[in-house]
Structure 1
Amino acid sequence: MMIRSSFAAVLLFLAFINHQCEQTVGSGLPGCPRNITPSGPQSANTPPLQRFQTYLLLLLGFCGFSLLLALLYNAIRKHIFKDFQNLDSTFDAGGRVTLSLTATTVATQLLWPADLLQSATVATKNGLAGPLWYSVGVVINVLLFPLLSVEVKTKAPGAKTYLQIIQARFGSVPHITYTIFALVTNVVITSCLVLAARATIRSLTADASDEMVVIILAIMFGSYSFVGGLGTTFYVSYFNASLIFVMLMILILNVFYLDNDYGGALGSIHKMYTALNCTVGPEGNEGRSFLTFRSEGSLIFGVIGIFLASSVTFCDQASWQSRIAAKPTQGVLGFLIAAFIWYAIPSTLATTTGMAYIAYSSEQGSYFLPESELNEGFVTPFITSRLLGETGAFMVLSMVSMALMSTGSGEVMAVSSILVYDIFQKYIRPYRRNLPPGHCILCGKSNKGNYQTGYQSDMDDGKDQSCSCVRVDHCEACKTDLSDTRLYGKAYQCPTHGRYRHYQDTLIRYKDWCIVWVSLLIVPFGLLVFTSGIDLNWAFTAGCVITIGFCPAVFLCIIWVKTTGIAITIGGIVGLISGIAVTLGLATTYDGGLSDFLTNTGQDYSVLGGCCTSFGVSLILIIIVSLCTHKIKQDEDADDEWMKTVAIRNPLQPWELTFIEDFPKVRDGYIPDHKDMGKRFRSAKIIALVGSLSGIIVLMFILPGIMSSLYVMTESQFTHWVRFCHVWTFIAAAFVIFAPPIQEIVSISRQYRRLNRLSQEASSTEISTSDSYARYDTTGL
């Protein structure tokens, strides 16, 4: 509420100022206007760090610290939550992550290194409008995700990947198709990560080699993921976000509020405004000014950003893992808060470093960096190291490295989860082959009768075909097995769960190897990307053309019961082909045509046309084909369809045990269906709908609309806008730094007290100290 109230007050104030005065570029100021000439082929950037400094910081500093966090997390899961040796906990961190930690992790994992680098590049090319539209394009999708998050947690609460939902509803052909393109999405994102890492390390480190860069990335991405799983990424993301905000505030102070040795360009808002107001901006900007939010290039980039963020938000398994790890209400609120946290970082950082670069360059009369280094994202490292020297170099290296660790480890875990759940467990070594949807994986019988609805499978023939397997938390044989740690990986004695428990141990070992091999493959993959000659700007924009056509299917298969498998298969493939064809066609209209492939296929209109075509064709085909092929005739058919996704369930860690506090009858064997889940978390759906729509209206329409009405900003307007961004950043920083550890300590202490209480009760009644609810009724992180 505080953020929104401050936001509304500032907008009204800016609107009032707009009616009072308008100003054109450089009016009344001596030496205006100045035109900044392009840089020559020689760069003015001098890397301030030596190789050993960078390598020691990354390997010993970040990797070492993250490994300590991984060990701490493992100790907590082992001694407090009692679910250390559990496959699902590796990929969902226990399934009940706190609100603040969810918000911080989501914001950090969506904060690509490209956001720290390319947002400043957009600012140097388009002025103040660049950071605004860049941030709007991404944050819209962050605000939409709560709607999907609550749908997934109520309709498929046991799913660990979104591909499992596709498989449960539509079968193998659509599942294989979307598994391939989920991995393609991971490839696109990883390409951006390795390019951003190389750009940062090369701009700050003398004689940095590409080989060492990818080796360091492999170690950074895989080390703590291997030791601690997804849960460690939450802890690491918290420290990453906190340090990023601290360093961002230091940078803000040095650019806008502290005197420095860079003449009239930097050191105060007035100095920066004077320099920017005297500088001729790009064509397409109002009055050719950098001080306007009316920018054709920024608007196009913002639209491209919406498609780009859609493809990486909805099609990237890494985005789903952190959302699946929280309960519906915490997930929704966490996402909404994450949107405002995320918005503060690239918008404020790009305004700070991008505008500082333009102002500083105007003093010299030419840009310091050549076009190639601008496209690689050198602006933020250059300005930071110029202002703060070696300290600034360490600071920006730390910021980008922390973003790399959060995002990169998420990609490693995403690929590993797909390999475990959607390839190995489904096609290579399934526990029970050809199991019909809605049937128990332990005995093969229908488990529909176990749910609240009580109806039987269509396969029932009058005999008792319903599953009668005892639930794991009521199984005395499992308690005996789990009390004997020597049995891990060996023959368990439980006749119901023993074989499957051994199977899960096999999957855990396979998971470990997946993380190792995925991390190692980053080395040859990164070298291949470097050899290809693509830059970060091309990978960041053109890559979304490949993935955006599959976004509508992911969205619709979760929210629309009439979606069919043939529809999403046809829509995704045809959308992909159409998008690529349009992109190539528009690229031929530029000078050089396809002979200058990387340049022309990365042009704004080429990417925009390809994205719009791919998304539009895919969406239309999926809707039309689904309407023609669906078999949903009545409410019972819809219930049967969603029961397929509700039945996604690990019998060793049933999803319903996570919701014991919400459904007390679960203790007696009750399993909620999708209707029960929808009713219980109806408030979460309302919060998601109202919060998402409100955020979109404010950030996509009200804010850009009012700022665009200011034409070319006066000094007073510029001052209020900059200070408003700074206040927003400081509020977000306070939440990120203080809220997660407080909630985490409370959560752990509550679980510790519960464990002690249950242990005492068990002792007083002479039962085993490994009480079932101590093991399964956990509060999570």
Structure 2
Amino acid sequence: MHTWILAIVFLVTICAPLNYGSTTEEITTATTIRTDDISEATSGTTFFLPVSTVQHTCRTKLKPREEVETNTKPSITKSNAALLLLLGFGGFSILVAAAYKSLRKYVYHDEHNLDTVFDAGGRVSLSLTAVTVTSQLLWPADFLQSSTLSSRSGFGGTLWFSVGVIVDLLLFPVLSIFLKTRAPGAKTFPQIAYARFGNAGHVMFCILAMISSLIVCTSMLLAGKSALEVLTKDVNNEFIYLVLAFLFGSYCMIGGLGTTFYISYFNTALTFLSVTVFVLYTSYFPSEESKEYSSMEALYTAAICVEGPETNYEQSHATFRTESGLIYGVVLLFMATSTSFTDQANWQSRIAAKPSQGVLGYFMAAYLWFVIAPCLSVTATTIYFAMSLKNGTHLLSDNEIDNGYITPFVMNLLLGETGNYLLLTMLMMALMSTGSGEVMAISSIVVYDIYKTYINPFRKHLSPTSCVLCGKQKQLSESKMGGDFCTCSSSIGCKSCDVDITTRARVGVERIVYTCSVHGEYRRYEDGLMRYKSWCIILVVILLIPYGLIISETDVYVNWATLQLQVLTCPFLMPLFLTITWSKATSKGVISGGILGLSASISGMLIMGSTYEGGLSNFYVNTAQDYSLLTAMLAGLVVSGVVSVIVSLCTHTIRSEADAILEWAKTINIDNPIHPFRLIYEEDFAKAEVGDIITAKVMDKVFRKTKLYAGVLGSISLVIFVVILPAIALSSGVLSFDEFTAWIKGLQIYCFICTFVVVVLPPFEEGYQIWLQYQKNKRNETSSVCSTKQQDLNGESCKL
């Protein structure tokens, strides 16, 4: 429902012919252009031009600023930054983590489960999923590099940048629903490869997941370094990476993934509030000094008068017809898909929610995330152009613009030190959510896919369809089959387990002696894993510091790390997609497809990069060019997909529907015997009257409506963002003043609405969920007491 509301509001605000109190005629004498900013021949004269004709009379090319003393000087002291980040953000996050841990202990009673650490209980609400996904998608590039893109490609640059990411975000729920129905108990995507393909395929996908997380961590660490250096005085690399490691991992060790969801809410809320404050201060309640730069007339004059790139329509910034922006949008689509589909952190956010909440949450996140980059970057860039136009030259050097300094410069100039604190808050909030997600992603791979699988498995040499507890084959069909099958009872409703859990809460993990003959040994095994995961998280956080220092010494550029490293993961998209969705995919198919696709991707990048000026001797620049990236990713996708399909068709053993059911039985058997996925989906299974045996067909039946929602909402959203919105944007060449105003005001109003949704909805929905669980606990306690009294009364009825 929230998704539809946001979509309708956005279309109304964008499409409607808005009139904000000033028509073209009314502002004919309101737009002042100083001739000393445009032509040296008429220095000192001031004249007035109608906005409707300003684009034909004032076009000027800003002179580049010479590389002299920078205009962007840090204003936040190191001590203040440390207090804000370590005691403010870090201290607050630790308090939230402690509160969340208490909530799991006293309300949900599952703080002792290993899976709760990595899936937050598996029932995360729709709105909390949405704000978490939004927060993890908000990288520093959305605040810094989006302004650079607007200055280089005009309005269209940021729009196509956002559309490229949104398309990827809309495709992910459709894929993730397959994971939830084919492997509902899986905590990592490599677990599916292990169940289907064994060691070889599993190792490849583990390496892929680790590389993807390292790429994101590299981007986050370098971006955090750049942000702190541009905003904070006298910082060094050791201070920067120590602060970032603390922010990334401090609260994860206390509350696990669930705390990341709670912190992501605060991060997203603060980010949207900060953007809203910036927009309100610059566009609606500007100071007297900033009015000449931030009024709608000044913004339009700057966008029209400053000459744009040659690839733009009429070389204007006030247009969405930009060749470079469109190409970058397509490249970013592949990059974002590569990142999100192969990054375990994104799968964790999806796994932590039930299918319906996860699907709707991702769609809601797409509509929330979309507004941030266009709203902030267009406002900041046009204000910067207005300032530069008055000066006659760029106020920042080309190097400073490329490093994303437009937004910090504008916020500092208009809001002073408050602007720097606002930007620092936005950047650190984005880094905290994404960084903590990666810490949990790496830790989950180490715990589930390395330690539990190879170093210390509970039971060795199991087949994919065997019971973990007894080692015997599980029955995969409702029909009775001869043979020695598993007869282990479920932990759901197990009286001995209930006694063990109560005893453990009273005497502690170190002194408990489990009495359940079926599940006791596995509970002791998981207690050991709980201690191991804590040390694992600590180690990952500590290793971030030397890793950050190493990549700083290599002089890796932020842009290169963010863009070009995706070439390494893109060739594995199709093998991963086939692993999750196609029963005929084989180990030989996905491995050969991934390896050959990677070779094609790297070759395409190097070949295309060598065609630019300087060739591969200018490696960092030319391998990150738009066409180098586009060639690499297309080559990797096509080759990996074709090879994976052809080899799988030649090597698969699926000959009937029964064979396909057996293949998916391997992945459905991925489960925790003391915390089975049936417990999470008990209400869904009860409505569908599911029996003891769960198959892929049963899961498809139970979540048929969710699949329908994913398909319908995905199609409608794609039409909105890929057809309707681009059609509206491309229908105009150079924007008129009314069109310009409609877009700016539409984005700003949409931002205000999203801010309200982000701030209000998640705590309301989460509070309601906690209250429902509390009421359920009270009913269970009443039922338990009544049962005890009834026994004491020799079977007589009991009323409480």
TM-score after normalising by structure 2: 0.91
1:621 to 633, 643, 649: 643
Distance (whole Å) between structure 2 residues aligned to residue 286 and residue 639 of structure 1: 55
Letter in 1 for 2:546: P
Once structures 1 and 2 are overlaid, which stretch shifts more, 709-718 or 5-14?
5-14
Say which of 661, 664, 667 aligns to 1:639: 661
Structure 1 residues 467 and 767, CA gap change in structure 2 (3 angstroms): farther
- Residue 512 of structure 1 aligns to a residue whose secondary structure is helix
| 1:571 matched to 2:589 | no
Letter in 1 for 2:60: R
Read off the aligned partner of 2:5 and give its amino acid letter.
M
Q: C-alpha offsets along residues 101-153 of structure 1, whole Å, 9 cap, x if unaligned?
A: 11111111111222222212211111101110110111111111111222111
Q: Which of 532, 540, 565 lines up with 2:562 in the alignment? A: 540
Are 2:312 and 2:319, in contact at CA under 8 Å, matched by a contact in 1? yes
Looking at structure 2, the residues matched to 254 and 558 of structure 1 have their Cα atoms a distance apart, in angstroms, of: 48
Aligned length: 757
Bigger shift: residues 612-621 or 391-400:
612-621
1:722 to 711, 722, 744: 744
Amino acid at match of 1:52: S
Cα RMSD, aligned residues only: 2.3
For the residue of structure 2 that corresponds to 1:46, the secondary structure is: coil
Q: Does 1:320 align with 2:347?
A: yes
Matched residues in 2 for 1:24 and 1:565: separation?
67
Native 8 Å contact 1:126 1:282 kept in 2 = yes
Secondary structure at the residue paired with 1:661?
A: helix
Q: Distance in 2 between matches of 1:346 and 1:28?
A: 27
Matched with 1:480 is 499
Deviations 1:244-299 (A, max 9, x none): 11111111122322333556752222210011211101120111111010111101
Q: Deviations over 1:63-117 (max 9, x none)?
A: 0000010001001000000000110000000001111111111111111222222
1:376 matched to which residue of 2?
A: 403
TM superposition shift of 1:448: 2.5
1:508 aligns with 530
Aligned partner of 1:495 among 502, 517, 535: 517
Residue 759 of structure 2 is aligned to residue 737 of structure 1: yes
* AA matched with 2:404: G
- Does residue 685 in structure 1 map to residue 712 in structure 2? no
In the aligned structure 1, how far is the partner of 2:673 from the partner of 2:186? 13
Query: 271, 279, 288: which one pairs with 2:306?
Result: 279
Partner of 2:442: 415
Q: 2:264 aligns with which of 222, 237, 241?
A: 237
| Structure 1 contact 541–602 (Cα < 8 Å) conserved | yes
Deviation at 1:597, TM superposition (A): 1.1
CA distance in 1 between partners of 2:650 and 2:350 (Å): 33
Distance 1:52 1:88 in 2: 39
**Take 2:50 and 2:156, find their aligned partners in 1: how far apart are those partners?**
16
- Residues 1:584 and 2:606 are matched in the alignment: yes
- Give the aligned partner of residue 34 of structure 1: 60
- 1:108/1:240 contact within 8 Å kept: yes
How far apart in 2 are the matches of 1:632 and 1:133?
Answer: 42
Match of 1:778 in 2: none
Question: 615, 619, 622: which is aligned to 1:600?
Answer: 622
Q: Secondary structure of 2:673's partner?
A: coil
Matches within 5 A, 1:240-255: 240-255=267-282
Cα distance in 1 for partners of 2:194, 2:619 equals 37
Match of 1:779 in 2: none
1:762 to 736, 759, 784: 784
Match of 1:4 among 3, 7, 19: 7
Which residue type is aligned with residue 573 of structure 2?
A: C
Task: Identify the residue that residue 468 of structure 1 maps to in structure 2.
Answer: 487
Query: Which runs of 5 or more residues in structure 1 are unaligned?
Result: 457-461, 770-781
Matched, 1:562 2:584: yes
Tell me how far apart the structure 2 counterparts of residues 747 and 196 of structure 1 sit (CA, whole Å). Answer: 36
| Structure 2 counterpart of 1:348, from 375, 382, 403 | 375
Which of 178, 189, 204 is equivalent to 1:162? Answer: 189
The answer to whether the 8 Å contact 1:219/1:519 transfers is: yes
User: For the structure 1 residues 419 and 344, does the alpha-carbon distance in structure 2 shift closer, same or farther, using more than 3 Å as the test?
Assistant: same
CA distance in 2, matches of 1:517, 1:240: 25
The CA deviation at 1:199 is 1.4
* Partner Cα separation in structure 2 for residue 446 and residue 767 of structure 1: 42
Letter in 1 for 2:711: L
Q: Deviations over 1:405-429 (max 9, x none)?
A: 1000000000000000011111111
Per-residue CA deviation, residues 742-778 of structure 1 (Å, 9 max, x unaligned), is 1111111111111011101101111999xxxxxxxxx
CA pair 444-131 structure 1, distance change in 2 beyond 3 A: same
Distance 1:709 1:434, change over 3 A: same
Of structures 1 and 2, the larger Rg is shown by 2
Per-residue CA deviations over 1:363-384 (Å, capped at 9, x if unaligned) read: 2222233333333322222221
- Distance in 2 separating the partners of 1:476 and 1:149: 35
CA distance 1:26–1:541, change in 2 (3 Å): farther
Matched residue type, 1:128? F
Q: Structure 2 matches for 1:9-88, cutoff 5 A?
A: 9-10=12-13, 12-13=15-16, 27-28=53-54, 32-42=58-68, 43-88=70-115
> Amino acid of the residue matched to residue 667 of structure 2?
T
- State the secondary structure of the residue aligned to 2:371: helix
Aligned residue type for 2:440: M
**2-structure distance, mates of 1:296, 1:709:** 15
Query: Given residue 487 of structure 2, which amino acid in structure 1 is its aligned partner?
Result: S
Q: Is residue 197–residue 586 contact of structure 2 (8 Å, CA) maintained in 1?
A: yes
CA distance in 1, matches of 2:409, 2:479: 65
8 Å CA contact 1:348–1:729 kept in 2: the answer is yes
1:25 and 1:287 in contact (8 A); partners too: no
Q: Report what 2:223 is aligned to.
A: 196
The range that moved more, 612-621 or 129-138, is 612-621
1:377-401 CA-partner distances (Å, limit 9, x unpaired) = 2222222122111111111101110
- Which stretch shows the higher mean deviation, 333-342 or 4-13? 4-13
CA contact (8 A) 2:567 2:629 kept: yes
Give the letter aligned to residue 533 of structure 1. Answer: D
Q: Secondary structure at the match of 2:209?
A: helix
Give the partner amino acid of 1:557: T
Does 1:309 pair with 2:336?
Answer: yes
User: 2:674 aligns to what SS in structure 1?
Assistant: coil
CA distance in 1, matches of 2:733, 2:221: 39
SS in 2 for 1:187: helix
Check whether the contact 1:563–1:622 (CA below 8 A) recurs between aligned residues. yes
User: Structure 1, residues 670-692: CA drift from partner, whole Å, max 9, x if none?
Assistant: 34322122112111101100111
Structure 2: segments with no counterpart, 5+ residues? 26-48, 792-800
2:698 to 663, 673, 676: 676
Structure 2 residue 205 is matched with structure 1 residue 174? no
Q: Does the Cα contact within 8 Å between 2:282 and 2:290 map onto a contact in 1?
A: no
Which position in structure 2 is the counterpart of 1:553? 575
Conserved 8 A contact 2:593-2:639: yes
Structure 2 match to 1:777: none
Alpha-carbon distance change, 692 to 768 in structure 1, aligned in 2, over 3 angstroms: farther
The answer as to whether partners of 1:258 and 1:267 remain within 8 angstroms in 2 is no
**2:789 and 2:11 mapped to 1: Cα distance?**
60
> Which residue identity does 2:704 align to in structure 1?
R
Amino acid at match of 1:242: A
**2-structure distance, mates of 1:262, 1:195:** 35
Aligned partner letter, 1:88: D
Contact 2:13 / 2:747 at 8 angstroms: preserved in 1? no
Matched with 1:432 is: 459
